[in-house]
Amino acid sequence: MTQITTDLYQSIGQNYADAYDQLQLVDDSITAALYDVVDVTSAGYVPGNAAAVEIELALLGPFNAASVAMTNLTASTSSLTDAVRAINSHVINNTTGSATATAKLATWINANMITLWPSGAPLGWWYLSSDAGYDVATWNTTS
């Protein structure tokens, strides 16, 4: 089988890292909105004021349900990790030599990808690869 190009790996890795980052932002934003509802008194309503209580009671249920749904969505990256596992396994399986899978992938990230990721792998790609079961401890990353 033919090895994937570094350009294709970089494009996929970057896109998946961006998707991972966006999922984290969605989760943070939905949680912040829920906290706004819970802390409605900081929006100018007097604590214990009937209007504040009424608004909180009216909005808390739907906003909490949305928060739980988004948290479940963003926490469930199994579809993403399956794809990450596929591409990283492809790299490992198509790298010659007797090095361990961990060493092959670390060399790919730290040496082969250096021209496309001079600062290292995007952090989102690092997290997804870790979630997919890869030892990423020796990878160069962007932060």
Task: Give Cα separations from 15 to 8, 48, 111, 122 (angstroms).
Answer: 11, 47, 20, 10
H-only helix segments in the chain: 6-38, 50-75, 78-93, 101-107, 123-131
In this prediction, residue 10 carries a pLDDT of: 95
- More confident site: 89 or 22: 89
In this prediction, residue 47 carries a pLDDT of: 64
At CA 135, angle to CA 129 and CA 136, rounded to 5? 65
Tens-digit pLDDT profile for residues 46-88 = 666 777 778 888 888 998 898 888 888 777 777 889 999 999 9
Describe the crossing of helices 123-131 and 78-93 by its angle, rounded to 10 degrees. Answer: 90
pTM: predicted TM-score of the whole model, two decimal places: 0.77
Highest mean pLDDT (candidates 12-26, 33-47, 69-83, 108-122): 108-122
